[in-house]
Copies of this chain bind each other. A is one copy, B any other.
């Protein structure tokens, strides 16, 4: 089986350095076989890749593309609480919050940017349950925030 490290390399993905959280919490917390990852904003090297409500300030396509940064930041966060990067083998749940104008109802299309990337990376064990909802506003004015529960390899 391909390890996560190998798979990320194959896909040309590199885990970013872990950035500080935005408050008195940690990027990820282990409980038994699961890693709970804090809500991730679509930041790349500190810069927000999607800001403001969809679609008035950020197009659905841009928000969907930015969801991939939530995923890669989320995996980096998970690794900080896992025995090793390669012990992360699956995804249990994704919670996606999309800053939305009142008339925008395509939150699932935005969240698919994250879900498809997780499938690409983890394959069959990347298949996850998901809740995607609209909200009026998110921290730092981000267009989306995504939280994750990852699964560790059974010992």
Q: Which residues of A contact B (CB under 8 A)?
A: 21-29, 31-34, 36-39, 53, 91-95, 97, 100-109, 111-112, 115-116, 119, 127-141, 145, 147, 149, 151
Contact = CB atoms under 8 A, between A and B. Distances in A.
B135 A24 contact: no
A105 B26 contact: no
Nearest to A22: B108
A130 B31 contact: no
A39 B133 contact: yes
Contacts of A102: 53, 136-137
A132 B39 contact: yes
Given A25-B128, A32-B32, 14 more contacts: A25-B115, A25-B127, A25-B129, A26-B127, A26-B128, A26-B129, A29-B93, A29-B129, A36-B149, A97-B133, A105-B139, A107-B139, A133-B138, A135-B136
